[in-house]
Amino acid sequence: MSTTLDVTARFFAAIESRDIERVRAMYSEDAAIWHNFSNATQTREQNLAVLAGLCAAVATLRYEVQERFDLGGRVLQRHVLCCVLADGRGFRIPACILVGVRDGLVCRIEEYLDTAQVNALRVATGRAPIASAPG
């Protein structure tokens, strides 16, 4: 049986390999993905579309995991998302994320990141900046 740490490690490896179908298979059907910058929750399909857009926009992406802790059904991970564009420009986006795992599948994500760093990447790849949550 996979531990929450194993599932989390495989989940981020799937994103790094740009295998959106493998990421889909690792999500529960009712997965919910919440972001601090919007205070909104995405469905699995909405988040997969975001990940596919990120993969299409960058030449490489990888996660530098700083620390990862098993909290019993959830994993707390602090990482830096490292992206390089086709023209060689690099971006580093520090983040903290809680990954909920149920029955070996990712069922909930709570992601905390700095919109200024995300928006620098979005603008550089021709995408609209994300807006912060009101109030």
Q: Where are the domains of the chain?
A: 4-124
pTM of the full predicted structure?
0.91
pLDDT score of 131 more than 80: no
pLDDT of residue 8: 97
Percent of the chain with pLDDT over 70: 96
Q: How is residue 72 written in tokens?
A: 């019993």
Domain 4-124 class? alpha beta
pLDDT band at 114 (very low <50, low <70, confident <90, very high): confident
DSSP 20-81: HHHHHHHEEEEEEEEETTTTEEEEHHHHHHHHHHHHHH-SEEEEEEEEEEE-SSEEEEEEEE
pLDDT score of 31 more than 70: yes
66-113 pLDDT, tens per residue?
A: 999 999 999 999 999 999 999 999 999 999 999 999 999 999 999 999
